[in-house]
Amino acid sequence: MGTLVHTLASVPSVGTYAAGLATHEGEAHAATGITAYAWLLIALPLLGAAVLLLGGRRTNKFGPLLATLLSWGAFVVGLLVFIAMLGRGAEDRAQEVNLFDWITAGSFKLSAGLLVDQLSVTFVLLITFVGSLIHVYSLGYMDHKDENGHVHSDPDKRRFFAYLNLFVAAMLLLVLANSYLLLYVGWEGVGLASYLLIGFWNWNPAYATAANKAFVANRVGDFGLSIAIIIMFFHFGAVDFTTVLGEAGSNANEGFMTAIGLMLLLGACGKSAQFPLQSWLGDAMAGPTPVSALIHAATMVTAGVYLVVRSAPIFEAAPTAQLVVVIVGAITLLFGAVVGCAKDDIKKALAASTMSQIGYMMLAAGLGPVGYAFAIFHLLMHGFFKAGMFLGAGSVMHGMNDQVDMRRFGGLSGAMKITWATFAIGWLAILGVPPFSGFWSKDKIIEAAFIGEGWRPWVFGGAALIGAGITAFYMSRLFFMTFQGKKRWTDDVHPHESGKLMTVPMIILAIGSAFLGLILGPTGWFTTWLEPVTGAEPEGAHPVIPVPVLLVLTLLLVAGGAALAWMRYWRDDVPVTAPAGNLMTQAARRDLYQDQVNEALLMRPGIHLTRSLVFADSKGVDGAAGGLAALVGGASSRLRKLQNGFARSYALTMLAGVVAILGALWVMS
Amino acid sequence: MTAAVLPALSNLSTLPAAFQASEVNYVAVMPLFIVFVTALIGVLVEAFMPRERRHRVQVSVAVGGLLAAAVSIFWASSNLGLTMGLSDGSTNRSLFALAIDGPALFLQGAILLMGILGVLTMAERFGGVGPDAFTPSGASTPGSPVETAATRAGALTSEVFPLTVFAIFGMMLFPTTNDLIGMFVALEVLSLPLYILTGLARRRRLLSQEASLKYFLLGAFSSAFFLFGTALLYGYAGSVYFGDLSSAISTAPLAMNGLLLPGAFLVFVGLLFKVGAVPFHAWTPDVYQGAPTPVTGFMAACTKAAAFGAILRLAYVGLDTARWEWSNALVIVALLTMVVGSVLSVTQTDMKRLLAYSSIAHAGFILVGVLAFDRTGVGAVLFYIVAYGFSTIAAFAIVSLVRQNGAEATHLSQWAGLGKAHPVAASAFAFLMLAFAGIPLTSGFVSKFAVFSAAVGSGATGTVLAVVGVLCSAITVFVYARVIVLMFFSEAPAEKVEVVTPSAMTTFSIAIGTLTTLALGVVPASLLDLADRASQFVR
C-alpha cells in the first residue's frame, strides 16, 4: 500500500485523468452538437461493408467507389467532431455518446456508448484519414494493366473493399468504445477483418496458413484481454471506462491491478505483434499491400498501444505490470530491428520495422506519464510514414511484377521518381533526421527512456538508443537496395511509375511525414492536447544524460548506421542471391528462430489437429506432436474410445458415474 | 416401469377416498391445452385424411396449432404466479400440480417457437417429389420388399407431425409441473415420441433404428433412476409436491438425511440425462448422428430447453433448502460436462457428432448458470436456452442440406471448400459456428457472458466454474474455427458435394435461426430483460 500511495502522490496524472474523464457528476459530459452523431463514424463504413457484402455482384461496378466515399464520409464526420472539440475548453472536451442499453443482467447494467475524447479523436482522425487514402490507393492497386493497356480488376475487388470498410468500422469501434466489453467487440472485429484480408488471396495455401497463424496468435492475445475483462468485472463489478479507470486511480488493490495489467498486456502483445506473440506479423504480409499499410502498419497493430495508454490508471496502480510493459517494448524494439537487418523481402523488412517501432511506443507507454503522449505522438507519426512506405513498396511491387525480393531491385530511383521521392521522405522520417516527423517523436521517447533512477534508464534508454542506430542501418539498407545502386532486375520486368490513384495518396502521406511532426512537435501542441487524458508530464524529470548530449549521440548513431548501409548496399555491389552470412545473419534471417520456438507451441499441434480432421481414423497423438493442443487432442482421442457404441457400456458409464459421484459426496460430507 | 410407478402411487396411503375437484384455470393452461388438442387432431388427420393431402394438412395443423398456442401465452401470462393441482383439501397435498410462473411460460413460449422452426424443417420435401428426411415405412425391415414398395408408392411418414406435437406437449409440461410424479409423466410424454422419431431416418436406417433403441434403453434406465430418487424423496418428505419437499427439508429430523442426498441426486440424474450432461451423455452422439437431421435439431433445441426448465424448478423450488447437500454433485457434473464435451469435440470427424459434443459442452455452460442460485442465474439460463436453441436448429437445418449423391454429407472432409461453391450456406453456417464459439456480436457471446457473470457473482465455486467454462470455450473455439477454415480455405473433395436448394419452409427456419443469433448478439437487451423478469419461480 505504501508504494501505491507513493505512486499516487508522485503522479499527478491520476487526478487529472479523473478530472478529464469523470467530471463533477462522476461521468463524462453527455455529447452535444455534432458529437452526438459520432455513431455515424462507425455506421458509415459498416453500411458500406453491408451493402457490398449483401449486394453481391450487383455492386461490383460502384461498390469500391461507394466504400471509398463512405470512408471519406467518416473522415469528414471525424473532422467535424474534432473541430467541435477544439471549440470547447480543455476540461470539457471529453464527451460520451450513449447508444443503447446493451446488457442488463441483474444488478449489472452496461450501456453501449462511445467515448469521444482527445485520445479517441486522435485515433479517429488517423484511422479515417490514412484509411481513406488507402481506399483511394487500393482503387488503383487492385487493377493491373496488361501489355495491351487493358485494365484488369482483381476478380474479388468488391469483397476487398467490403473487408476494408469492415475493418475501418471495427477499428473505429475499438477506439471509440466507452467500455472494455465494447472495445473487445471492436478488438475481435479488427481481428476478423485482418484474418479475412491476410487470407484474401487464399487460393495460395501459404497465404491461408499465414492467415491462420495470425488468427491463432491473436486468439492467445484475445484470451488475455477477455480474462482481464473478467477480473475487472469480478473486482469492480463493472467494465466501463469511467468506473474501472476511476476506481483504479483511487482505491485499487495492487494485486488485482497487476493481474489485470498483465492480462491487458497479453492482449496488447497479440494484437500489436509484441514479444512473445510477434511471429504472425511477418507472415501477415501475405495480404495485399494496402492491407499491410493500413492494418499491419498504421492502425490495427497499434491498438495494443492504445489499450495500454487508455488503461493508464490501471498500470500506474501496478508498477510491476508497468515494468513488464517497458521490458516487452525494449525486447521487441531490438528484436524487430535485428530481424529487419537480414530480410530481403521488402514487405517483411518493413514488417520487422513496424514491430520494432511499436516496441518504441510500447516502451514509452510503459514509462508512465512521461511517455504516454510521446507513445501516441510516435504512433501518429509512424502511421503516416510507415503507411507511406508500405504504399511505396506496393507501388514498387506493382511496377516489378509483384516481386518482393530486394536483391532483384536496385536503381529504381530513375524509373519511379514519385515513389522514390515519397519513400525517401518516409525513410528520413523513420531515421529521425530533423526536421522530419520521426525526429520529433522518436527522440522524445529515447529521452523519456533515460529518465529515472538506478539501472532502468541505462538499460531501457540504452536499448532505445541502440535501436535507433540499428533502425538507421536496416531502413537505409532497404532504401538503398531498392532505389539506389545497380539495377539487378530480372529480365521480364519493366518498372514504371504507378497511376495517379496510387501516387497521390503516397504524396499526401509523404507531406504528412515531412511536416506534421514539425507542426505538432516543437510547439508542444500535441502534448498539451492530450494532457487531460494522459496526464501532465511530471515537472523536473531529467534524463540521466543531458538532453543535448543525447541528441548528438542519437544523430551520430543514426549517421553511423546509415553510412554502414551506404557502404555495403550502395557503394558495393549487392549479390542477387543472399550470401550464407554469419551465424547472427542467419538467425536474424530466420526471425531469430521465433518460428522454431513457436512450432512446438502453435504449429505442430495445429498440424495434429488438421490431420485428425482429414483422416477418418486418426491414429491419435502423433509421436512428435507436443504442446497444449496436442494434449487436448490426445486426451480427446483417448476419451473417444469410451464411446464404443454399445448401449450396455453406456449404461455402465451412467451407473459408474452415479456411484462415483454419490461416493464422492459421501466422502465430502 | 409401470411396475415401479404403481407401488409409488399406492404408497400414498394417506390419500382420501375421493379427490376434490380442483379449480382449473383454463386460460392459464390454454397453451398446453391447444397443443394437446392439436396433437389429437393430428392423429385424426392421419386416420381419415386421404394419403396425398395428408402431408400438407399435417404440417398446417401442426404449425397452426403451435402458433395459436404461442399466441395464447399472452393470455396465460395474466395468471402469472398461479399454482393448481389435484388436492385432497385437508392436508394441502397436491398431485399433478402445475405452476404457471415466469420460467414456465417463458420456456413454453421458447419451446413453441423453436418447435415451429423444427416442424418446418421436418416438413422439407425438396420440391414435393424428392425424398424427405423420413423413411416411407417405419415399421418395415430395412432393405425389405415392403420398404421398396413403400418407397415406390411415394409413401410419406406424416405421423411425425402428431408425434412431434405430442413431444412438444410433454416438453411444455416438463418445466411447468410442480411435483415429482407430474414431472415423471411429462418426462415420458416427451420422450416416447422422440424415441420413435429417432428411428425414422430415410437413409442409413439401421443406424437410425440402433440409435432409437439405444435412446429408448438408456432413457428407460435413466427414468428408473428418476423414479428411485422420487421414492427416496417421498420416503424422506412424505410428499412429492415441491412445496412440501422444500418445507420438509427444513423441518425433517437429521436422521432422515441419508435419504435426502441420494434421492435428490438420483432425481437429478434422470433430468441430467435428458440434457446430455456427463457422465449421462453417452447416448447423445449416437442418437444425434442416427436420428433424421431435422429431428436432431429439434431435440437439441427443445428437449434441452424443457429439461433445463425442469432442472431449474427442482433446484430452485423443490430442493432449494437442501442446496448444501446436493449442489456439489451438480458442480462435479457441470465440470465434467464442460471438459468432456469440449475435449471430445476436438477429434470428431462427423458434423452431427461434432454438434452433439458441442451440445454437451453447452449443457455444461448452462449448468454453470443453474449453479449461480439466484435470479440472475435463472435469467441467464433462460436466455442461453433460447439463444442456443435458435442457433442449433438453423445449424442442423443447414447440415441437412449438404449432400453428396443425394445422401447427407456429414463427414467433415466432405465439407472442405464448401465456402467457394456455396458461399451463402457456408457463411451462415460459419456464423453459427462463431455463435457456438461465443464470439462477440453473436448470441453465443452474450449468453456465455450472462451465465459466467452470474456464476462469478455467486461466489468462489461459481468463479471456478466460470474459469473452467472460459477455458473450455477456448478449446471449442479451435473446433469451430477448424470447421470455418475447412469450409473456406481447403480444397474441395474430388467427388462433388452440393447444397440442395431448400423450400421456403427450411429457408425460413435457417433465416430466422441465423437472424436471431445475430440480433441477440447485437441487441440482446430486450430478451435479457424479458428473461430477467421471467426469472421468478412461484412456490
Give B21's pLDDT tier (boundaries 50, 70, 90): low
What is the rounded average pLDDT for all residues in chain B? 88
Q: Assess contact for A271 and A361: CB atoms under 8 A.
A: no
The helix/strand/coil state of B278 is coil
Which residues, listed in sequence order, are joined to residue A114 by a DSSP beta bridge?
A97, A177
Give the best-scoring range by mean pLDDT among A587-591, B474-478, B491-495: B474-478
- Interface mutation target, options B342, B476, B489, chain A, most CBs of A under 10 Å: B489
Mean pLDDT of A36-59: 84
The nearest CA of chain A is from the CA of B179 a distance in Å of 23
Residue A407 in this model has a pLDDT that exceeds 90: no
Give B432's pLDDT tier (boundaries 50, 70, 90): very high
Residue B28 in this model has a pLDDT that exceeds 80: yes
Q: Assess contact for B350 and B289: CB atoms under 8 A.
A: yes
The helix/strand/coil state of B539 is coil
CA dist B263 and A662 (Å) reads: 10
Cβ separation of B375 and A106 shorter than 8 Å?
A: yes
Q: What is the pLDDT of residue A593?
A: 66
Higher pLDDT, A647 or B341: B341
Least confident of A36-45, A227-236, A612-621, B112-121: A612-621
Is B420 near chain A, with CB under 8 Å? Answer: no
Mean pLDDT of A388-414: 82
Stated as kind and residue range, the H or E segment containing B334 is helix B323-345
CA dist B368 and B275 (Å) reads: 13
Residue A623 in this model has a pLDDT that exceeds 70: no
Give B437's pLDDT tier (boundaries 50, 70, 90): very high
Cβ separation of A616 and B411 shorter than 8 Å?
A: yes
354-393 of B, contacting A, C-beta below 8 A: 374-376, 379-380
Q: What is the pLDDT of residue A22?
A: 37
> Strands A95-105 and A29-30: what pairing?
parallel
Q: What is the pLDDT of residue A270?
A: 86
Chain B environment of A610 (Cβ under 8 Å): 482
CA dist A256 and A228 (Å) reads: 10
Chain A environment of B528 (Cβ under 8 Å): 103-105
Q: What is the pLDDT of residue B33?
A: 94
Residue A266 in this model has a pLDDT that exceeds 60: yes
Q: Within chain A, how many helices (H) and strands (E) appear?
A: 28, 5
Nearest Cβ partner of A100 from B454, B474, B523?
B523
Buried/exposed code over A415-430 (b: 16+ C-beta within 10 A; e: otherwise): bbebbbbbbbbbbbbb
Q: What is the pLDDT of residue A590?
A: 67
Is A659 near chain B, with CB under 8 Å? Answer: no
- Residue whose C-alpha cell is 377416498: B17
The separation between the first and the last C-alpha atoms of chain A, rounded to the nearest angstrom, is 40
Cβ separation of A104 and B532 shorter than 8 Å?
A: yes
CA dist B99 and A248 (Å) reads: 47
Q: What is the pLDDT of residue B493?
A: 81
Cβ separation of A227 and B261 shorter than 8 Å?
A: no
Cβ separation of A633 and B347 shorter than 8 Å?
A: yes
Nearest Cβ partner of A103 from B221, B280, B528?
B528
CA A30 from centroid of its chain's CA atoms:
30
Peptide bond into A12 cis (omega under 30): no
Q: What is the pLDDT of residue A624?
A: 34
Q: What is the pLDDT of residue A497?
A: 77
Q: Which three cell numbers stand for residue B264?
A: 435428490
> Residue B157's closest CA among B134, B191, B190?
B134
Mean pLDDT of A587-610: 62
Q: What is the pLDDT of residue A581?
A: 67
Nearest Cβ partner of B218 from A614, A643, A650?
A650
How far CA A130 is from CA of A66, A138, A299, A331, in Å, comes to 17, 12, 9, 28
Q: Assess contact for B437 and B480: CB atoms under 8 A.
A: yes
How far CA B414 is from CA of B207, B295, B481, B491, in Å, comes to 20, 22, 16, 10
CA dist B538 and B434 (Å) reads: 36
222-251 of A, contacting B, C-beta below 8 A: 223, 226-227, 230, 233-234
Higher pLDDT, B324 or B184: B184
Residue B6 in this model has a pLDDT that exceeds 60: no
What is the rounded average pLDDT for all residues in chain A? 79
How far CA A669 is from CA of B232, B250, B264, in Å, comes to 19, 18, 15
Please report the ipTM that was assigned to this predicted complex. Answer: 0.86
Nearest Cβ partner of A651 from B218, B325, B453?
B218
Q: What is the pLDDT of residues B446-471, one digit of tens each?
A: 999 899 989 988 888 888 999 999 98
Peptide bond into A276 cis (omega under 30): yes
Q: What is the pLDDT of residues A298-325, one digit of tens each?
A: 888 889 999 999 998 888 888 888 889 9
Q: What is the pLDDT of residue B289?
A: 93
Least confident of A576-585, B10-19, B437-446: B10-19
Mean pLDDT of B222-249: 91
Q: What is the pLDDT of residue A36?
A: 80
- Interface mutation target, options B195, B381, B449, chain A, most CBs of A under 10 Å: B449
The nearest CA of chain B is from the CA of A102 a distance in Å of 5
Cβ separation of A668 and B439 shorter than 8 Å?
A: no
Cβ separation of A233 and B532 shorter than 8 Å?
A: no
Cβ separation of B265 and A665 shorter than 8 Å?
A: yes
The nearest CA of chain A is from the CA of B133 a distance in Å of 23
Is A419 near chain B, with CB under 8 Å? Answer: no
Cβ separation of A661 and B529 shorter than 8 Å?
A: no
- Amino acid code (one letter) for A547: V
Percent of chain B clearing pLDDT 90 (strictly above): 54
Cβ separation of A230 and B470 shorter than 8 Å?
A: yes
Q: What is the pLDDT of residue A11?
A: 37
DSSP type of residue B350: B
Is A563 near chain B, with CB under 8 Å? Answer: no
Give the best-scoring range by mean pLDDT among A253-262, A307-316, B57-66, B244-253: B57-66
Q: What is the pLDDT of residues B491-532, one digit of tens each?
A: 788 888 888 888 889 999 999 999 999 999 888 888 998 998
Q: Which residue of A has its CA nearest to B266?
A: A658
Q: What is the pLDDT of residues A126-136, one digit of tens each?
A: 999 999 988 98
CA dist A130 and B181 (Å) reads: 69
* Cβ neighbours for A483, distance < 8 A, ≥ 6 positions apart: A409, A410, A411, A412, A413, A420, A423, A424
Nearest Cβ partner of A654 from B279, B482, B528?
B279
Peptide bond into B175 cis (omega under 30): no
Least confident of A95-104, A557-566, B192-201, B348-357: A95-104
Residue B38 in this model has a pLDDT that exceeds 90: yes
The nearest CA of chain A is from the CA of B435 a distance in Å of 13
DSSP assignment of A148-215 equals TS-EEE-TTHHHHHHHHHHHHHHHHHHHHBSBHHHHHHHHHHHHHHHHHHHTTTTTSHHHHHHHHHHH
Q: What is the pLDDT of residue B80?
A: 83
Cβ separation of B221 and A654 shorter than 8 Å?
A: yes
Chain B environment of A658 (Cβ under 8 Å): 225, 265-266, 269
Residue B93 in this model has a pLDDT that exceeds 60: no
Give B312's pLDDT tier (boundaries 50, 70, 90): very high
Q: What is the pLDDT of residue B12?
A: 47
Q: Which residue of B has its CA nearest to A661?
A: B329
Is B521 near chain A, with CB under 8 Å? Answer: no
Q: What is the pLDDT of residue A626?
A: 42
The nearest CA of chain B is from the CA of A108 a distance in Å of 9
Nearest Cβ partner of B344 from A105, A640, A669?
A640
The nearest CA of chain A is from the CA of B116 a distance in Å of 27
CA dist A562 and B235 (Å) reads: 90
66-125 of A, contacting B, C-beta below 8 A: 100-108
Is B149 near chain A, with CB under 8 Å? Answer: no
CA dist A116 and A204 (Å) reads: 41
Q: Which three cell numbers stand for residue A78?
A: 471525424
Q: Assess contact for A592 and A584: CB atoms under 8 A.
A: no
Give the best-scoring range by mean pLDDT among B118-127, B137-146, B322-331, B359-368: B359-368
Which residues, listed in sequence order, are joined to residue B20 by a DSSP beta bridge?
B87
Cβ separation of B446 and A103 shorter than 8 Å?
A: yes
- Amino acid code (one letter) for A83: I
CA dist B347 and A237 (Å) reads: 38
CA dist B515 and B428 (Å) reads: 10
Cα torsion A215, A216, A222, A226 to 10°: value is: 130
Q: What is the pLDDT of residue A605?
A: 60
Percent of chain A clearing pLDDT 90 (strictly above): 7
Is A593 near chain B, with CB under 8 Å? Answer: no
Is B520 near chain A, with CB under 8 Å? Answer: no
SS3 sequence, B300-325?
HHHHHHHHHHHHHHHHHHHCHHHHHH
> Residue A102's closest CA among B221, B527, B501, B22?
B527
- Residue whose C-alpha cell is 459426496: A665
Give A610's pLDDT tier (boundaries 50, 70, 90): low
CA dist B95 and B83 (Å) reads: 11
Cβ separation of A654 and B529 shorter than 8 Å?
A: no
Nearest Cβ partner of A234 from B265, B286, B463?
B463
- Interface mutation target, options A99, A222, A611, A643, chain B, most CBs of B under 10 Å: A643
Q: What is the pLDDT of residue B395?
A: 96
Cβ separation of B279 and A234 shorter than 8 Å?
A: no
Cβ separation of B329 and A614 shorter than 8 Å?
A: no
Q: Which residue of B has its CA nearest to A616?
A: B349
Q: What is the pLDDT of residue B115?
A: 96
How far CA B154 is from CA of A348, A531, B121, B502, in Å, comes to 64, 78, 19, 19
CA dist B521 and B289 (Å) reads: 29
Q: What is the pLDDT of residue B451?
A: 93
Q: Assess contact for B369 and B451: CB atoms under 8 A.
A: yes
